[in-house]
Structure 1
Amino acid sequence: MSNLNTLDFIALEVFRRNYLKWVQDVKLHLTAKNLRLAIEEETDNPVSEAKKANAMIFIRRHIHDALQTEYLAEEDPRALWFTLADRFDHQKDIFLLEARHDWQHLRFQDFKFVHEYNY
């Protein structure tokens, strides 16, 4: 019974702080369990209902309780996956811009900027 309360990794938070890491963890675990096709784009090979149910259980176990309640009516793991992506996926754009800005303004020893250091 204690097995039910332990998570494989940290659940997705409501405030989006861990979405990028959560996505990678879910993809890896679903791949290991041979369930990744349940969240991928539709292919010629349909996914069985049992695999969809297992993927849905896995995803729901690893999201915050408030998100579980909000998406309670969602029954398809692929639809839930894309709904969560629409809600949280903009973080890539935000972090990428910040990282690029920081990298361009990083100083090395006697050089003001990275591009000067590279030359």
Structure 2
Amino acid sequence: MANLAKLEFVALDVSGNNYLSWVLDAELHLSANGLKDTIDPEKIPTVEQNAKAIIFLRHHIHEDLKSEYLTIKNPLTLWNNLKDRFDHQKLVPLPSARYDWINLRLQDFKSVAEYNSALFKISSKLIYVVKILLILK
């Protein structure tokens, strides 16, 4: 059955291809709703916060992932399980961004605006990868 409520952002795909953007969106939405403590192992959230967070997280994952993690009722456990499964993809953007940077040519674009857009997209990827690599050290 399709989700009846509107999603705030794209649900996590079963392949995990959108995991990086999903994690950032999920963290931001949990923070905005006062539920960030539910995915922080050092904090002790209330039962109500846990319930709201698990509903929110389950609402924003693919149906197949929902059925796979059906028995998990703690948002921190679900968060960590998804992290263990998909977190390796943090390093995937580096070769892609490096390739895009090396092969970026103005003549491949119809306008300077399109070129600038591609340039900023690549530089954002590179900055993100550098931040991730610094965190991993």
- TM superposition outliers: structure 1 runs of 4+ over 4 Å: 106-109
Matched, 1:6 2:26: no
Paired amino acid for 2:17: R
User: Could you tell me how far apart the structure 2 residues matched to 1:76 and 1:35 are?
Assistant: 13
Q: Distance in 2 between matches of 1:89 and 1:97?
A: 16
List per-residue Cα deviations over 1:67-107 (Å, max 9, x = no partner): 0000001111001001001111111112124324554x457
Which structure carries more helix by proportion?
Answer: 2
Amino acid at match of 1:41: P
Correspondences of 1:4-43 after superposition (within 5 Å)? 4-43=4-43
Counterpart Cα distance in 1 of 2:95 and 2:37: 31
Distance in 1 (CA, whole Å) between partners of 2:89 and 2:59 is: 22
User: Against the structure 1 CA distance between its residues 107 and 8, is the aligned structure 2 distance closer, same or farther, given a 3 Å change threshold?
Assistant: closer
> Residue 52 of structure 1: which of 41, 50, 74 is its match?
50
Q: What amino acid is aligned across from residue 19 of structure 2 in structure 1?
A: Y
The number of equivalent residue pairs is 104
Map 1:72-87; keep pairs closer than 5 Å.
72-87=70-85
Mark the runs of 5 or more structure 1 residues left unpaired by the alignment.
Answer: 110-119
CA distance in 2, matches of 1:30, 1:93: 24
Give the C-alpha shift of residue 17 in structure 1. Answer: 1.6
